[in-house]
């Protein structure tokens, strides 16, 4: 039997690049194809790079000749980076996923689809179960644009999975990631000069260490299961404790001022907190990861707390 | 209590520490050095918490915080409500169990006093986790305090997960119907929902411990309610008591009634098997049995306790 042939979208991102590097070391993976408009940050040896925009219908003609059996959809944008409008983010997420699926319709070598989705689909609600299991995706209305995007993406993949019973589609629902040197929503938040919080609220958050986030993708490629799977570091941490461990000062804001103040911060060059993230800081969210551990067979090495401590200690480690 | 002298000395040291470029927690610890030992410990602990040096479990329960508020709850237990607790030994010392109690008194003081009763009277004390009306979790501060002392949002998913991890869980099946009932209906149990708590117990094989709380009905005698105000703040109801809202924040102070808490004989459910959770007739029968036990105990103990405010 010949080895696996894997396509990774968004290979220019940290997670895409790291996954490619990890798969390059795996002898069972015969060929790796990376699709992105950006150059990968990681140094890759045997990954074939395709320079194309995922929103472009022309990717159909580029994917078919690669004869891949596995597609890892890693290009879902969680927060608009510098110079990216919310509109572009929506386009990449929804139109990008749609074009990718359209392109894959005609590639009959595909057996596995792994998506780096988001636990954002559960939302952040005061009345929510304290641990979401995979079957609780639509307990609450999808309130923010990003949530609706994720909902849309999940719909596309469910439809695709129904139309192609021979393809195993794994929808990984990630909690926010954190890791040394990785630019994520959490790290941007914790490096603000003063950290805005909701006055009188201290919700439980859950994060996943960046290396566990990449490993989970790699394990899911080897052992895909059908349907959604939550990915997070075990345990939770209160926002206040998280900010204190990071050695920052909180700026508690009364509910109605939170939005205006954080968007004013944008004008002085501070990172923008998305609507989703704002809700997360008010009500928090945690997920159940039994399916990840028992069915996919991956147990994160870092708990939520350890992931955060690792990130806090990283600068000191680098200096030593 | 700390005298004025040491307190001023401590403040001076904190200020010097800050001027020398120490951060707040360190300066506090240095300042505390001149305080009496108990106070010094408390200040040091508070300073460590400012550095994020405390633990919360995955539910957000913070045992250190719970210990910190213990003296206040002790005061309520001993002096304010003069609580007597009977039958604490009926609560299993380890493993999963579901306590089912009557609910009254608008704010979940009854839950805190049940916890206190167990901590004080049980040979193997442990903090129970209690299911709190969802609405409380959308309130500032209240939501934080509740989760730090072991409260979780009232959702069957939460209860199931807690019981599966062998916790002691307290539920109030009357819910809002219990807390929101008028004063003249005191000690008359409301409907026990659809028996969801029995399903949980059966599914997890937990025994059910009925708990009868006498005294909570008098702490906020609800004389009426205002629906426009309830709608305005999104609350399930807006109570009017002799003190609230007329006295403003002071109206939240509960009246000092005398309390009697009794833990009744546990009702085992494990022998029915988890599939029995789908047996409607068994669920309703057990639910009724628990309700009758609590109601009978309440009527008995109201008499036993005597006058509420003596």
- Confirm if B211 and B293 have CB atoms less than 8 A apart: no
Q: CB under 8 Å to B128, separation ≥6 — which residues?
A: B99, B114, B115, B118, B150, B167, B168, B169, B170
| B304: closest CA of chain A, how far (Å) | 39
Minimal Cα distance from A286: which residue of B?
A: B58
Q: What is the DSSP string of B10-25?
A: HHHHHHHHHHTT--HH
Q: Do A241 and B134 touch (CB under 8 A)?
A: no
> Which positions in chain A touch B157 (Cβ < 8 Å)?
129-131, 133, 136
- Reported as a single tens digit per residue, the pLDDT across A102-144 is 999 989 999 999 999 999 999 999 888 999 999 999 899 999 9
- Reported as a single tens digit per residue, the pLDDT across B205-241 is 999 999 999 999 999 888 888 888 888 877 888 888 8
Closest by Cα among A38, A174, A34, A166 to A113: A166
- Reported as a single tens digit per residue, the pLDDT across A292-309 is 999 999 999 999 999 999
Q: Which tokens belong to A245?
A: 């461990």
- Confirm if A98 and A58 have CB atoms less than 8 A apart: no
> Which positions in chain B touch A246 (Cβ < 8 Å)?
52
User: Taking an 8 Å Cβ-Cβ cutoff, which residues of chain B contact chain A?
Assistant: 49-52, 54, 56-60, 62, 134-135, 137-141, 143-144, 147, 152-153, 155, 157-158, 161
Distance between CA atoms of residues A23 and A17, nearest Å:
10
What number is the average pLDDT over the span A10-16? 94
Select, from the ranges A204-208, A276-280, B18-22, the one with the highest average predicted confidence (pLDDT): A204-208
Q: Do A204 and B56 touch (CB under 8 A)?
A: yes
Residue B3's pLDDT is what? 64
CB neighbour class for B24 (10 Å; exposed up to 12, middle 13-18, buried from 19)? middle
The predicted model scores a pTM of 0.89
Q: Do B60 and A136 touch (CB under 8 A)?
A: no
Q: CB under 8 Å to A58, separation ≥6 — which residues?
A: A52
Cβ of A126 under 8 Å from any chain B Cβ? yes
Minimal Cα distance from B141: which residue of A?
A: A200
Among A131, A202, A230, the residue to mutate for chain B (most B Cβ within 10 A): A202
| A28: closest CA of chain B, how far (Å) | 38
Closest by Cα among A36, A103, A238, A69 to B55: A238
> Which positions in chain B touch A129 (Cβ < 8 Å)?
153, 155, 157-158
What's the Cα-to-Cα distance from B216 to each of A177, A230, B304, rounded to whole Å?
Answer: 46, 42, 15
Cβ of A237 under 8 Å from any chain B Cβ? yes
Q: CB under 8 Å to A43, separation ≥6 — which residues?
A: A21
Q: Do A238 and B56 touch (CB under 8 A)?
A: yes
Q: Which residues pair with A173 in a beta bridge?
A: A117, A230
pLDDT tens series, chain B, 310 aa:
456 777 788 888 888 887 887 777 777 777 777 777 777 887 888 888 888 888 889 999 999 898 888 889 999 999 999 999 999 999 999 999 999 999 987 778 899 999 999 999 999 999 999 998 877 888 888 889 999 999 999 889 999 999 999 999 999 998 888 777 888 888 999 888 788 999 999 999 999 999 999 999 999 888 888 888 888 877 888 888 888 888 877 778 899 999 999 999 999 999 999 999 999 999 999 999 999 999 999 999 999 999 988 7
For chain A, give me the number of helices (H) and strands (E)? 12, 13
Distance of CA B308 to the CA centre of its chain: 21
Lowest average pLDDT, out of A9-18, A259-268, A279-288, B257-266, goes to A259-268
- Confirm if B47 and B29 have CB atoms less than 8 A apart: yes
* CB half-sphere exposure, A196, CA atoms < 13 A: 25
- Confirm if A101 and A157 have CB atoms less than 8 A apart: yes
Task: Tell whether the model's pLDDT for residue A43 goes beyond 80.
Answer: yes
Cβ of A312 under 8 Å from any chain B Cβ? no
Region class of A49: left (phi > 0), else alpha (psi between -120 and 50), else beta:
beta
- Reported as a single tens digit per residue, the pLDDT across A143-194 is 999 999 999 999 999 999 999 999 999 999 999 999 998 999 999 999 998 9
Length of chain B: 310
Residue B1's pLDDT is what? 47
* Per-residue buried b or exposed e for B223-241, using 16+ beta carbons within 10 Å of the residue's own CB: eeeeeeeeeeeebebbbbb
Closest by Cα among A261, A273, A207, A279 to A238: A207
Token look-up 């940290």 returns: A14
- Reported as a single tens digit per residue, the pLDDT across A183-200 is 999 999 999 989 999 999
Q: Which among A198, A244, A286 has CB closest to B52?
A: A244
């Amino acid at each position: 039997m010949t080895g696996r042939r894997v396509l990774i979208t968004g290979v220019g991102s940290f997670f895409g690049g790291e996954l490619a590097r990890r798969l390059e070391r795996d002898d069972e993976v015969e060929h790796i194809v990376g699709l992105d408009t950006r150059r990968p940050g990681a140094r890759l040896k045997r990954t074939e790079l395709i320079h194309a925009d995922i929103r472009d219908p022309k990717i159909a003609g580029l994917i078919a000749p690669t004869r891949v059996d596995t597609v890892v959809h890693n290009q879902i944008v969680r927060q608009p980076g510098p110079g990216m409008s919310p509109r572009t983010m929506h386009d990449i997420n929804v139109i990008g996923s749609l074009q990718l699926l359209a392109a894959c319709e005609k590639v009959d070598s595909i057996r596995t689809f792994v998506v780096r989705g988001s636990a954002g689909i559960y939302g952040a609600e005061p009345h929510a179960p304290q641990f979401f299991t995979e079957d609780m995706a639509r307990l609450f209305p999808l309130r923010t644009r990003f949530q609706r995007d994720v909902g849309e993406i999940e719909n596309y993949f469910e439809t695709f999975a129904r139309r192609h019973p021979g393809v195993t589609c794994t929808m990984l629902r990630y909690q926010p990631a954190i890791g040394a040197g990785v630019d994520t929503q959490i790290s941007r938040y914790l490096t603000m000069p003063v950290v805005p919080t909701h006055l009188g609220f201290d919700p439980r958050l859950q994060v996943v260490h960046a290396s566990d986030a990449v490993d989970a993708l790699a394990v899911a490629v080897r052992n895909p299961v059908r349907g959604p799977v939550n990915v997070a570091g075990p345990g939770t941490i209160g926002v206040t404790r998280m900010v204190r461990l990071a050695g920052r000062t909180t700026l508690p804001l009364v509910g109605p001022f939170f939005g205006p103040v954080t968007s004013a911060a944008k004008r002085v060059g501070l990172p923008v907190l998305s609507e989703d993230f704002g809700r997360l800081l008010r009500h928090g969210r945690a997920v159940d990861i039994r399916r990840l551990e028992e069915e996919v067979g991956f147990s994160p090495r870092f708990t939520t707390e350890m992931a955060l401590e690792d990130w806090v200690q990283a600068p000191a480690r680098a200096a030593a | 209590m700390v005298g004025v002298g040491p307190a001023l000395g401590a403040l001076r040291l904190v200020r010097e520490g800050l001027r020398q470029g120490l951060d707040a927690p360190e300066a506090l610890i240095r300042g505390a050095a001149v305080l009496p030992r108990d106070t010094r410990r408390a200040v040091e602990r508070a300073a460590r918490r400012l550095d994020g040096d405390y633990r919360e479990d995955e539910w957000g329960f913070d045992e250190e915080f719970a210990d910190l508020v213990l003296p206040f709850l002790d005061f309520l237990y001993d002096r304010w409500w003069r609580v007597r607790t009977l039958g604490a030994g009926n609560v299993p010392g380890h493993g999963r169990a579901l306590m089912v109690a009557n609910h009254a008194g608008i704010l979940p003081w009854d839950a805190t006093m049940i916890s206190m009763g167990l901590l004080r009277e049980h040979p193997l004390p442990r903090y129970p986790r209690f299911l709190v009306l969802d609405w409380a979790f959308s309130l500032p501060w209240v939501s934080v305090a509740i989760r730090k002392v072991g409260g979780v949002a009232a959702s069957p998913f939460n209860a199931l997960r807690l019981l599966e991890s062998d916790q002691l869980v307290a539920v109030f099946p009357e819910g809002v119907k219990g807390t929101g009932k008028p004063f003249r209906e005191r000690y008359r149990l409301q409907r026990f929902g659809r028996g969801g708590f029995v399903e949980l117990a059966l599914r997890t094989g937990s025994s059910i411990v009925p708990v009868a709380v006498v005294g909570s009905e008098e702490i906020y005698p609800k004389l009426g309610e205002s629906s426009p105000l309830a709608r305005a703040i999104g609350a399930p109801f807006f109570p009017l008591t002799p003190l609230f809202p007329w006295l403003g924040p002071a109206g939240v102070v509960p009246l000092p009634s005398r309390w009697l808490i009794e833990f009744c004989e546990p009702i085992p459910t494990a022998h029915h098997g988890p599939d029995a959770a789908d047996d409607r007739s068994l669920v309703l029968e057990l639910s009724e049995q628990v309700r009758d036990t609590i109601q009978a105990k309440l009527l008995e103990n109201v008499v036993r306790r005597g006058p509420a405010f003596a």
